[in-house]
């Protein structure tokens, strides 16, 4: 339950962020280019903190999680107080770094609970994140409609995250093996198997990020959908992610991880191809939902596979490493989609994403996945 609360709290912030971006941009008086740079700094901050958090997690055990969540709770107010582009850069860099630290801490907790209980949990935990994103997006829209500014929106989000930090404190019986002798180091060689898993995860995040960032634009610009329809793209994608992860958590009781990953990537490929190729906004929305359902199971299943393959003393470090590699897909993928759209068309670029998802399904079918470690 503690892990689920952490994921829900993280989703509350990022759902609020997605719905409040226009207000934040206006308050900070940032141009589109300046906002774009600020968004890159979110990812860079996360990349810097993720592996370091994993290393600390293996050294200090469950005590780290409420600290990481609390740090993000304090940083969650920052986007609401930025009144210039320079302030926005600093605020989002800090928010990105603390968000990345919280992300690794709660994922490591979920992996350890999977190992302890012998039951799948990662897809359910990520479903809580996706559901919270939908709820927070709608709530933020209502708050903005009622006249609330960014300060109030992110102040409320920060309160939720801080309360979650209190709730995720480990109980007296909640312990795990701490790496006291020869603990993992921040800078050391990444094993080949982990590098492969991380690259597959980066491709999965590339596909996911493509629809999160470009779905509404595709509906509005390529298919001439009105704004009220184009706004449904990200919302339905997130809703499908929630349902897909709940289903994926159940299916892992009967399916292998490999089968779930292959089916998920195939669903993402078919859904992306439908949404990219159609001339109907309604059909495109259906394709986006299928793509979301397919994408939904990829990241949590990959993190679970990597975490269970690690030795107990280095599980948090491995989770931090694989999430760092995967996050590169979020940074690079959407930018490459935009670059290809500039050279050709957005439709052609998204069809390329469909081909990438098909390739990913093939790789999941043939790449050797690591086995769970003993202990």
Q: What is the CATH number of domain 190-375?
A: 1.20.1250.20
* pLDDT tens digits along 183-219: 666 667 778 899 999 999 999 999 998 888 788 888 9
pLDDT at 163 over 90: yes
Sorting pLDDT into bands at 50, 70 and 90, what band is 172? low
Decide if pLDDT at 244 tops 80.
yes
Same fold, 1-168 and 190-375: yes
pLDDT of residue 22: 82
The domain segmentation of the chain, as residue ranges, is: 1-168, 190-375
Global pTM?
A: 0.85
Average pLDDT on 124-137 reads: 90
CATH for the 1-168 domain, from 3.30.360.10, 1.20.1250.20, 3.40.50.2300, 3.40.250.10: 1.20.1250.20
% of residues, the chain, pLDDT over 70: 94
Cβ atoms of 248 and 300 within 8 Å: the answer is: yes
Given this model, what pLDDT does residue 206 score? 92
What's the rounded Cα separation, in Å, for the pair 256 and 222? 38
**pLDDT value at position 184?**
65
Position with higher pLDDT, 118 vs 247: 247
Q: What integer is the mean pLDDT of 280-296?
A: 96
CA 88 centroid distance within chain: 21
State residue 59's pLDDT score: 81
How does pLDDT run across 260-280, given as a tens digit for each residue?
999 999 999 999 999 999 999
Token output for 300: 């949590």
Q: What's the rounded Cα separation, in Å, for the pair 221 and 33? A: 20
Average pLDDT, the chain: 88
Using CA atoms, how far apart are residues 358 and 372, in angstroms rounded to an integer?
A: 27
**What proportion of the chain, given as a percentage, has pLDDT over 90?**
51
């Amino acid at each position: 339950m503690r892990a689920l609360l952490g994921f829900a709290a993280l989703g509350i912030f990022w759902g609020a962020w997605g719905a409040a971006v226009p207000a934040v941009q206006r308050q900070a008086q940032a141009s589109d280019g300046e906002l774009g740079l600020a968004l890159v700094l979110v990812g860079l901050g996360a990349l810097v903190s993720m592996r370091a958090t994993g290393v600390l997690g293996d050294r200090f055990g469950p005590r780290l999680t409420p600290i990481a969540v609390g740090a993000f709770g304090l940083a969650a107010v920052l986007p609401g107080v930025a009144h210039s582009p320079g302030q926005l850069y600093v605020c989002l860099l800090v928010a990105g770094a603390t968000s990345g630290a919280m992300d690794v801490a709660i994922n490591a907790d979920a992996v350890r609970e999977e190992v302890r209980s012998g039951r799948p949990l990662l897809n359910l935990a990520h479903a809580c994140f996706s559901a919270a994103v939908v709820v927070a997006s709608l709530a933020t829209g209502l708050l903005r409609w009622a006249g609330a500014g960014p300060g109030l929106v992110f102040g409320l989000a920060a309160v939720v995250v801080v309360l979650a930090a209190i709730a995720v404190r480990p109980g007296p019986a909640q312990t795990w093996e701490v790496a006291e002798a020869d603990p993992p180091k921040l800078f050391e060689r990444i094993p080949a198997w982990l590098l492969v898993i991380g690259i597959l995860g980066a491709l999965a995040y590339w596909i996911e990020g493509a629809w999160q960032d470009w779905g509404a634009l595709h509906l509005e610009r390529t298919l001439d959908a009105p704004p009220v329809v184009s706004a449904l793209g990200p919302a339905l994608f997130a809703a499908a992610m929630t349902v897909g992860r709940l289903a994926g958590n159940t299916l892992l009781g009967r399916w292998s991880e490999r089968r779930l990953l292959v089916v998920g990537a195939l669903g993402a490929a078919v859904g992306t191809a439908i949404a990219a190729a159609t001339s109907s906004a309604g059909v495109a929305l259906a394709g986006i939902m299928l793509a979301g359902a397919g994408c939904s199971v990829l990241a949590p299943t990959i993190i679970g596979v990597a975490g269970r393959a690690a030795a107990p003393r280095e599980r948090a470090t491995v989770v931090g490493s694989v999430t760092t590699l995967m996050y590169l897909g979020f940074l690079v993928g959407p930018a490459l989609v935009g670059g290809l759209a500039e050279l050709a068309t957005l439709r052609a670029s998204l069809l390329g994403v469909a081909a990438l998802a098909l390739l990913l399904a093939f790789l999941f079918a043939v790449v050797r996945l690591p086995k769970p470690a003993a202990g």
